């Protein structure tokens, strides 16, 4: 039987007949069974499958096993380098584990996230990783927890990236600690008067970062006046709009503006330029995350480094680990000082 003579896809029965083995032997040879198959028979099955162009029915395997070799990854915004870097880490680790990643974008919408979790449950992924920042006022939190609990009860494994009150494995990020360390470092560089782009209200990552930054300033004898802060979206355009708001209000003697992530910081620097101000010279700017782009912008951006690909790798390793006891130590951060925050002269 030749592949070119077929008008319909080859079935497992076809492969077994072509190889001259039983259906069970063909299935065990192709579907990763834990039961050993004679190597000579296994090779016959593989050769027959190749000749016939046979592709395993992954949906049928999922029904039979109750799971697949799939990792479901939910991110807020795949265009954001923060999430794409985490996704790269998940994909790289999945490749090493011989797993396949499927990805969906929540668009920072809790209701959409819930819908996606429900849809992905039907695909029976082995692992589900949720990388979107949690909201303190999430109206879908209870329903989401119920969906994820039901998913785990059927053999799946859930991992959250960033802080959550839900009872699932979590990769914790040092958002508060990193922002506090940044504030201390900026004070050491001679900065005394600060502003901030604080992101959306209720977003836990944003709240942790601004709280840590404020704590660091207060501990060093400074503060963050409320009239030098602006709420804005957690995006490049949000950073631009937030900085325009501060400029329109009047920056006064503000020396440094902290944006809660790097894409916001890059938007803020564009807003400064459009207002005729030189970032890093007339107003210093700092961000958070250390996405790759910030090393190439002018001026290069001072930020707090999170090893984002490592975060993705750790999330999948945690999901596949045998122990449920703990999620491990938080992912550490590091302050990286670049040209956007030059040392101030005395």
- Per the prediction, the chain carries an average pLDDT of 88
CA dihedral 6, 8, 12, 13 (to 10 degrees): -70
For 28, the 3-state DSSP assignment is: helix
Distance CA 119, CA 72 (A): 11
The predicted-structure confidence for 161-191, as pLDDT tens digits, reads as follows 987 777 899 999 999 999 999 999 999 999 9
| Residue ranges of domains in the chain | 3-56, 66-173+310-320, 175-306
Distance CA 139, CA 160 (A): 18
Label residue 303 exposed, middle or buried (CB < 10 Å: 0-12, 13-18, 19+).
Answer: buried
For 235, the 3-state DSSP assignment is: coil
206 with 198: CB under 8 angstroms?
yes
Return phi, psi of residue 179, to 5°: -65, -35
The predicted-structure confidence for 200-234, as pLDDT tens digits, reads as follows 888 889 999 999 999 999 999 999 999 999 999 99
Predicted TM-score (pTM) of the model is 0.80
The predicted-structure confidence for 136-162, as pLDDT tens digits, reads as follows 777 888 899 999 999 999 889 999 998
Closest among 324, 344, 328 to 256, alpha carbons compared: 344
Instruction: Indicate if 175-306 has the same CATH topology as 3-56.
Output: no
Task: Determine the topology of domain 175-306 in CATH.
Answer: Rossmann fold (3.40.50)
**Alpha helix (H) residue ranges in the chain:** 12-19, 23-30, 39-52, 58-65, 81-96, 110-121, 141-153, 175-188, 204-219, 236-249, 262-274, 308-320
For domain 3-56, the CATH class is: mainly alpha
> What CATH architecture is 66-173+310-320?
3-Layer(aba) Sandwich (3.40)
Distance CA 226, CA 223 (A): 9
The predicted-structure confidence for 256-302, as pLDDT tens digits, reads as follows 999 999 999 999 999 999 999 999 999 999 999 999 989 889 999 99
Provide the 8-state DSSP code for 140: T
266 with 257: CB under 8 angstroms?
no
Closest among 48, 303, 328, 294 to 178, alpha carbons compared: 303
As a whole number, mean pLDDT of residues 187-198 equals: 96
């Amino acid at each position: 039987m030749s592949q070119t003579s077929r008008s319909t896809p080859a079935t497992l029965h076809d492969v077994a007949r072509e190889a001259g083995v039983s259906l069970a032997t063909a299935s065990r040879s192709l579907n990763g069974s834990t039961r050993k198959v004679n190597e000579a028979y296994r090779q016959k099955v593989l050769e027959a499958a190749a000749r016939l162009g046979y592709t395993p029915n992954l949906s049928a395997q999922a029904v039979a096993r109750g799971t697949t070799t799939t990792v479901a990854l939910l991110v807020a915004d795949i265009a954001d380098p923060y999430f794409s870097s985490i996704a790269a880490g998940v994909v790289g680790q999945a490749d090493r584990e011989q797993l396949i990643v499927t990805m969906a974008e929540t668009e920072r919408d809790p209701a959409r996230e819930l819908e996606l979790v429900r849809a992905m449950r039907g695909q029976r992924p082995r692992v589900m990783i949720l990388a979107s920042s949690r909201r303190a006022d999430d109206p879908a939190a209870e329903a989401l927890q119920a969906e994820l609990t039901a998913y785990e009860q059927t053999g799946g494994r859930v991992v959250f990236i960033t802080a959550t009150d839900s009872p699932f494995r979590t990769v914790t990020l040092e958002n508060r600690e990193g922002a506090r360390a940044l504030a201390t470092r900026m004070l050491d560089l001679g900065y005394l008067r600060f502003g901030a782009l604080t992101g959306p209200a209720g977003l836990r990552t944003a709240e942790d970062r601004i709280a840590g930054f404020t704590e660091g300033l207060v501990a060093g004898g400074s503060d963050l006046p409320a009239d030098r802060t602006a709420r804005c979206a957690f995006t490049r355009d949000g950073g631009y709009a937030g900085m325009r708001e501060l400029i329109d209000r009047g920056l006064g003697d503000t020396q440094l503006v902290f944006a809660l992530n790097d894409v916001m910081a890059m938007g803020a620097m564009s807003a400064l330029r459009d207002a005729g101000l030189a970032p890093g010279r007339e107003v210093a700017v700092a961000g958070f995350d250390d996405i790759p782009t910030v090393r190439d912008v002018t001026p290069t951006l001072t930020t707090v480094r999170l090893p984002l690909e490592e975060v993705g790798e750790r999330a999948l390793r945690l999901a596949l680990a045998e122990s449920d006891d703990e999620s491990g130590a938080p992912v550490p951060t590091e302050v990286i000082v670049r040209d956007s925050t030059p040392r101030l002269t005395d």
